[in-house]
Amino acid sequence: MTNSKLDRRLFMKGAGAATFMTGAAAIPATSAVAAGRGQMQMSTAYNLDEEFNRIGSGDFKWDMIRKANRPHDVPFPMGVADMDFRALPQITQALQKRLNHHNWGYEAPPADYKQNIVDWNKARYNEDINPDAMVNCLGVLDGVTSALVTWCDPGDKVILHTPNYSSFFSVIPGSLCELAESPMILNDDGTYEFDYADTERLLQEGAKAIVLCNPQNPTGNCWTADQLRRLGDLANQYGALVLADEIHCDFVNKHATYVPYASLGEEYAMNSVTQKSASKSFNLAAHRTAYMYSKNKDLIDRIIRDGIHHRGLMHTMGTIACNAAYKHGAQYMDDMQAYIDGNCHYLESFAAENFPLIDYKTHEGTYLAWLDCRKLAEEFGEPEGDTRIGDVMKQFFIEKAGVNINPGENYGITGAGFMRMNLGTTRHKLKGALNAMKAAMDAL
Ligand SMILES: Cc1ncc(COP(=O)(O)O)c(C=O)c1O
């Protein structure tokens, strides 16, 4: 029996997620490798094809979605932006070692914590981060909030190019700023472009900052140096700060390039703050550990002084997890990225053959696919009242396919007709989800 038939049979039998997980055929390991440079000798094997069971840990992606959608089962939750793989073994080993101390008093991050962040970014992106102009935060969004609160006065406009990551729609007002949406331009090839004229209009109206997402969630764009420079020139001309959220930077497909905003040159670096974390790359979101940095040390000092989140203390387990990830995870990250690249290509060819109503082309960065469902949306017609077409399509896929994907409107009204699908999962689950979606759409 082929895998797709197996997936389909399991789904059609109404197999619950637990049944799906335990019944799944084991796919031979493709990624059992020893991790990269300068590492301790320990067991480092991992298998990205492992059908790892997340159910019961209390997570948002599996447990919350399944609970919220009862009586429908959701064996394919592909909404929340985290991944379904078992953590890098050295991360778990480092955490276990610390657990054995049975002591949770105040403490500093590991001594080499900042250096490992510096080394990771230098080795992978040739970025030179000054560890004295870097500050830890309890999440990228907390860092964005601190920077906005420091830089802006209450009521100042902050530009967000949409569609864009949903939480910015609450974090910008939550920082007492006014969200100034600038809809992006959709190119014929499915990539997006900033609307520079509209951006300049907002800057002329007094916008004080631009929140930039690079690589972009949800559209998957990796911005080119030219695009970033053009945007940065406008920001610099009008004195607006660029807050570069580069949390997804480790996920860049083979045909694409990630350009760190701070690498554009001195004038851009001095007028920006970059936000990063190991949380997407190594699936550590629950550990609440991130960092931000700038070439402009005065600005970082101001954020430490005036930003509401920076009392300087960090989460013990989070810093240990991040440290182990950056220290031991280079090879794992390369394998993970190649695996996600494979998922994107699998989705592209599956959609071309089987989804007449959904368009998708392998995107550039992040593990999030931005599905063009505008033809599917037409099948459902105009929704009634306040219901969004994305909610109609989400419910359709939950009820008829057991697949949870996110409505495009979550990322701004310009996202209507699109759906975001998380590909941070095994090929086996992805195949199961796609077969189930095909069956649901074929029956329309
Ligand atoms: C672009 C972007 N920024 C920030 C976050 C959240 O980061 P954190 O959990 O560190 O606040 C996410 C999570 O999906 C994201 O996609």
Burial class for 237, CB neighbours closer than 10 Å (0-12, 13-18, 19+):
exposed
Q: What is the rounded CA–CA span in Å between residue 310 and residue 409?
A: 33
Contact 231, 237 (CB under 8 A): no
24: pLDDT strictly greater than 80: no
* CATH 3.40.640.10, the chain: domain bounds: 124-325
Mean pLDDT, residues 57-79 taken together = 86
Give ligand 1 pocket residues (Cβ under 6 A).
81, 139-141, 165, 213, 217, 245, 247, 277, 279, 285, 290
Tell me the best of 140, 142, 170, 366 to mutate to test the pocket of ligand 1, counting ligand atoms within 8 Å of each CB and taking the most: 140
392: pLDDT strictly greater than 50: yes
Q: Closest residue (by CA) to atom 13 of ligand 1? A: 81
Nearest atom of ligand 1 to the alpha carbon of 82: 14
Contact 283, 85 (CB under 8 A): yes
Tell me the best of 61, 214, 219, 247 to mutate to test the pocket of ligand 1, counting ligand atoms within 8 Å of each CB and taking the most: 247
166: pLDDT strictly greater than 90: yes
The CA 7 to ligand 1 mean position distance, Å, reads 31
Q: What is the rounded CA–CA span in Å between residue 216 and residue 223?
A: 8
Least confident residue range of 22-36, 137-151, 274-288: 22-36
Q: Which residues pair with 371 in a beta bridge?
A: 419
What percentage of the chain carries pLDDT values higher than 90? Answer: 80
Helix axis angle for 427-442 and 330-354, nearest 10°, is 20
Tell me the best of 217, 273, 289, 421 to mutate to test the pocket of ligand 1, counting ligand atoms within 8 Å of each CB and taking the most: 217
Whole-number pLDDT of residue 191: 92
CATH of domain 3-30+51-84+330-442: 3.90.1150.10
Give the DSSP per-residue string, 36-74. -SS--SS-----TT-----TTS--IIIIIHHHHTTTS--
Nearest atom of ligand 1 to the alpha carbon of 80: 14
Q: Which residues pair with 123 in a beta bridge?
A: none
Q: What is the rounded CA–CA span in Å between residue 156 and residue 182?
A: 15
Least confident residue range of 85-89, 122-126, 187-191, 225-229: 187-191
Query: What are the φ/ψ torsions at residue 241 (nearest 5 degrees)?
Result: -80, 140
The CA 247 to ligand 1 mean position distance, Å, reads 7
The torsion region of residue 302 among left (phi > 0), alpha (psi -120 to 50) and beta comes to alpha
* CATH 3.90.1150.10, the chain: domain bounds: 3-30+51-84+330-442
Q: How far is CA 64 from CA 12, 55, 59, 175, 289, in A?
A: 23, 10, 6, 28, 23
Give Cβ neighbours of residue 316 (< 8 Å, ≥ 6 apart): 98, 104, 107
The CA 440 to ligand 1 mean position distance, Å, reads 31
Chain-wide mean pLDDT for the chain? 89
Nearest atom of ligand 1 to the alpha carbon of 143: 11
Eight-state DSSP code of residue 107: -
Rounded to two decimals, what is the model's pTM?
A: 0.89
CATH architecture for segment(s) 124-325: 3-Layer(aba) Sandwich (3.40)
Tell me the best of 78, 83, 141, 160 to mutate to test the pocket of ligand 1, counting ligand atoms within 8 Å of each CB and taking the most: 141
